[in-house]
Amino acid sequence: MPIAPDGTCYEFNGREGAPIIVLIHGLGLCSDLWKPHLKALSHNYRVLNYDLYGHGNSVPPPQKASLTVYAKQLADLMTTLKIEKAAIVGFSIGGMINRRFALDYSDKVSSLVILNSPHNRGEGLQSQVENRAKRVRDQGAMSTMDSALKRWFTPSYLNTGDGAKKVMEWRELVDPESYAQAAWVLANGVRELIAPTSPINAATLVMTCENDTGSTPKMSHDIANEIAGSQTVIVPKLQHLGLMEDPDSFTNPILEFLERAHK
């Protein structure tokens, strides 16, 4: 995979000249998250897939991690690759980054897809997420892995699928300090995204899974209620990493949304 001047690892799929989709993975994952989706997405689009700072094959962030730093990483990558505008698809913390990006670089956004991303958690859940971030800081990136897998995958998939193995392999690639910083951004970054002073104006699709306890259906509806004209889709039965268990349940609504948004 090519490396941008700032150390960001990226790849393209799909034909040159097609409308561009950018994919942003989640915390502790990498660009390989999107492999099951690339064939369908790249049929009519040029797909840019990259590793966040400190994840996969990208270098650690150049300064303390924040949503602003991650949004600038994408903006700089688009500038390097001479991409003027794109549909920005973000999963989990990626759905926080693409919202920050839409607020800071609205001219670069043709549409927005926010997947399984947190919003106002309430005091109880917010405290839990902050405690997990502190545990990562004190005990390392793998310290929360076992409980995370149970939150992210259905029991049947954990027993039969290979998702857990992949997720563990991806987390082991993450720079430890980068992971600790990113975990804190995931925990606290939602505060700057709730009811922003300047609202997001891009055409937006917000999705999550019925049983995602960290990015709940209510959170997705709350995000959508703050973005005029946005659409919400709730995928039945699945949990946080439902896009790994059933890729089509995400790819199909995304493509349908993009077709409408880009007419």
State the pLDDT at residue 94.
98
- 3-state secondary structure at position 232: strand
DSSP assignment of 85-102: -EEEEEETHHHHHHHHHH
Dig out the tokens for 247 from the structure: 């890729």
What is the pLDDT averaged over residues 39-60? 98
Residue 52 near residue 25 (C-beta atoms within 8 A): yes
d(CA 244, CA 157) in angstroms, rounded, equals 10
State the pLDDT at residue 243.
98
57-113: per-residue pLDDT in tens?
A: 999 999 999 999 999 999 999 999 999 999 999 999 999 999 999 999 999 999 999
Dig out the tokens for 158 from the structure: 């954990």
Query: Which amino acid appears at position 254 of this protein?
Result: I
What's the chain's average pLDDT?
97
State the pLDDT at residue 200.
96
Residue 185 has, within 13 A of its CA and on its CB side, a CA count of 27
- End-to-end Cα, the chain, rounded Å: 32
If one counts the domains in the chain, the total is: 1
- In this structure, is residue 3 part of a structural domain? no
- In this structure, is residue 4 part of a structural domain? no
| CATH for 225 | 3.40.50.1820
What is the CA angle 111-217-69, rounded to 5? 50
Paired sense of beta strands 46-50 and 86-91, if any = unpaired
What is the pLDDT averaged over residues 41-50? 97
145-185: per-residue pLDDT in tens?
A: 999 999 999 999 998 879 999 999 999 999 999 999 999 99
- In this structure, is residue 2 part of a structural domain? no
State the pLDDT at residue 160.
87
Token pair 């917000």: residue: 206
Provide the edge-to-edge strand list for the sheet that holds 10-13. 10-13, 46-50, 20-24, 86-91, 109-115, 204-209, 231-235
Dig out the tokens for 127 from the structure: 């405290």
122-139 vs 176-188: helix crossing angle, rounded to 10:
170
- In this structure, is residue 174 part of a structural domain? yes
- In this structure, is residue 5 part of a structural domain? no
- In this structure, is residue 151 part of a structural domain? yes
- In this structure, is residue 117 part of a structural domain? yes
The backbone torsions φ and ψ at residue 43, rounded to the nearest 5 degrees and listed phi first, read -65, -45
Q: Which residue range forms the structural domain that includes residue 19?
A: 10-261
- In this structure, is residue 212 part of a structural domain? yes
d(CA 91, CA 220) in angstroms, rounded, equals 12
